[in-house]
Amino acid sequence: MNASMEYALKFSLAYNKKCKPLCQELGLPQTAFDILMFLANNPDYKTASDIVEIRKIKANLVSVNVEKLVQEGYLRREAVKGDRRKTKLLCTDKARPIIERGRQVQKAFFEFLFDNVSEDTKRIFGEVLELIGRNLDEMLEKQD
């Protein structure tokens, strides 16, 4: 495994480990928590198919966990006007405290990642990520 793939795996494992205590306290599976946080943090994405496509979570896992979140009152479904096959997933007021706590965990995770990293290095890192992002966008556009 090359270093960048190993980094991505470690990042994911560390994030999940950081979220695990909150998920256990809330009685939510990690996947349900991830779906709720994805929808809360990415308002442009609202459907189960968005979650499958963007987060790369298997459709059956999305379906089971969305159903759990709806049954427990954290999400509600709303028909998409003009497309009877699509349903928007919206976070409810009941989900707000969980989302806020999840954001606190996310903030602490990123603060920990950048512990002992100078402001100048953070700035350079941000610039590198921006360049990589543009290169990825270009690569994706050329594949059409």
Q: Which pair of structure tokens corresponds to residue 84?
A: 């009877």
- The string of pLDDT tens digits covering residues 24-45 is 999 999 999 999 999 999 999 9
pLDDT of residue 83: 79
- Would you say residue 67 has pLDDT above 90? yes
pLDDT of residue 84: 76
In percent, the amount of the chain with pLDDT more than 70 equals 98
Q: Is the pTM of the predicted complex or chain greater than 0.75?
A: yes
